[in-house]
Amino acid sequence: MTDPRGTHPRRSAPLGVVLFTWAPPVLAWATGVAAVVARETTVAALALVAAIASSVYAPWARRRYEQRRDALLERTQIDALTGLPNRILLLHRIEQLLRGSWSRDEHPSLLFVDLDRFKNINDSFGHEAGDEVLAIVGRRLRDAVPSDATVARLSGDEFAVLLPAAASEASAAELAEALLIDIREPLALRRGDLFITASIGVATLSATKNSSALDLLRNADNAMYRAKDAGRDCVGHYDASMQERIAHRLALETALRRAIERDELQLYHQPILDITRGEVVGFEALMRWQRGEGDLVSPAEFIPIAEDNGTIVEIGAWALREALGQLRDWITHGVCAADATMSVNVSPRQLSDPAFPDVVMGALAGASLDPSALWLEVTESLMIGEPELALDSLRSLGERGVRIAMDDFGTGYSSLSLLQKFPLHRVKIDRAFVQGVATDGADRSLVRTIIAMASALDLDLVAEGVETMPQLETLGQLGCHKAQGYLISRPVPADAMRTTVSGLGRLGHLPGIGPD
């Protein structure tokens, strides 16, 4: 029997079986291959598209990234108000200069420019006017310097001019003088003309010394402070001796911060004598600093530092507590009369601390003393700057019975009208006028005027720094009946006060002292 399709039946059966068993996997495989091929084709196509796209996109993205980075750098290195390089960029330029080399004829220099009393402009005319001033000054500086110079705004009212190739230190200083003249020109602000001056410090890079950009900036900054100290509106020069003084001051400052916790501060006291009664009526507390094993440091040296770095607030509070505690002790132990007073010197910085009245009242309460036992000694320097907060503190303390003395009277700036603003109860005639009161006609008339003014304003009077009997007698004749000074007693440690006071009892027998 022949198969109609010519296939041997015995062989067709196995083929059927083969087809039957293999067709599905083969088909599946074929479909899979097709799918894989299709997938890979898609991937390849996509890759091709991506490659084409990225060849177009990548440079665009890079450009955009660079633009953004530059804008960011610009923002971080250019001062937005003046359009000038800022501190970071200036330091970068100085570093570049330091890495390079310069010839013998070049003296790279930095001018540090600080506007004088700029804060007054902001305070009086507002920040907008302040910004206008800064923008104009920035332009003036840029217009006045050589083209290779960098003018930068460092911060606030501070600018700097980097002269990479100044011919000499003197020529850098000459340029600084010329800049001062430019800055002095009236500034045409929207609100009208305004005048301003600046102080400029000049420092030159040393080719021999290893210095950094920050060193140069610091030297120029220090030189600028010299100009400020010399009265502003002038040029200050850096010299190496400044560095030593600065290092000394820095060491003092660091040590001072630890002085309280190390128990290194103490108070000496100087008695105040009522000449007519021949009695000690009070004491002035004067701070001393026993620095480590070393000598006593004078308050004239460390008080200004404490004022600058703010430690005076803590030190001053300590002095108030200590002095009043001491007075309480003397009264209790009969060293002085029950109505004797304690005078404590206070700095403007303490007075502008809103907590000051509470500190004072707390110290009085701690010593169980009436507010009338305390005299706060302030100086005329309080009038400079913004005395409002200080005046508020003094008024509030005055209302509670604490009395205020104007110390070193006659050496400061106070005018009668300013004096009237103060809740004052006493003036202390400065030693400078007391010194010549018995011998110098001009000093005597000045003291006479001060005494007349005090009596017109109904103020108590104390003469400071009395060293001789003729001084004491003359003061008495002129109408000043209270005095302190080396003639009566030097400032002494607390434990020496009993002997000092009893020794002073004997002074009552001297002519001019004690009841007639």
Question: Can you give the binding site for ligand C2E, defined by CB under 6 A?
Answer: 270, 286-287, 298-300, 303, 316, 319, 345-347, 377, 407-408, 431, 464-467, 484-486, 491
Cβ–Cβ under 8 Å, residues 324 and 366: yes
Nearer to ligand C2E, 125 or 318 (CB): 318
Secondary structure, 3-state, 72-139: HHHHHHECCCCCCECHHHHHHHHHHHHHCCCCCCCCCEEEEEEECCHHHHHHHHCHHHHHHHHHHHHH
Nearer to Mg ion, 194 or 281 (CB): 281
Cβ–Cβ under 8 Å, residues 157 and 114: yes
Nearer to Mg ion, 237 or 428 (CB): 428
Least Å distance, CB 360 to ligand C2E, is 13
Closest CA to 351 of 395, 319, 302, 321: 395
For residues 502 and 356, give the distance between their C-alpha atoms in angstroms, rounded to a whole number.
35
Task: Show contacts with Mg ion in window 445-474 (CB under 5 A).
Answer: 464
Least Å distance, CB 466 to ligand C2E, is 6
Cβ–Cβ under 8 Å, residues 410 and 381: no
- What single-letter DSSP state applies at residue 382? G
Of Mg ion, ligand C2E, none, which one sits near residue 412, judging by CB under 5 to 8 A according to partner kind?
A: none
Of ligand C2E, Mg ion, none, which one sits near residue 456, judging by CB under 5 to 8 A according to partner kind?
A: none
Least Å distance, CB 288 to ligand C2E, is 7
Task: Show contacts with Mg ion in window 120-159 (CB under 5 A).
Answer: none
C-alpha dihedral (312, 317, 321, 322), degrees to nearest 10:
-10
Report which secondary-structure segment, H or E, holds 38.
Answer: helix 9-77
For residues 515 and 150, give the distance between their C-alpha atoms in angstroms, rounded to a whole number.
75
Nearer to ligand C2E, 153 or 431 (CB): 431
Of Mg ion, ligand C2E, none, which one sits near residue 279, judging by CB under 5 to 8 A according to partner kind?
A: none
- What single-letter DSSP state applies at residue 85? B
Of ligand C2E, Mg ion, none, which one sits near residue 200, judging by CB under 5 to 8 A according to partner kind?
A: none
Nearer to ligand C2E, 132 or 407 (CB): 407
**Token reading at 269:** 């006291």
Residue 119's Cβ-count burial label (10 Å; 0-12, 13-18, 19+) is: middle
Nearer to ligand C2E, 215 or 460 (CB): 460
Binding pattern for the stretch 343-382 against Mg ion, x by CB under 5 A and - elsewhere = --x-------------------------------x-----
Least Å distance, CB 462 to ligand C2E, is 10
Binding site for Mg ion (CB under 5 A): 345, 377, 407-408, 464
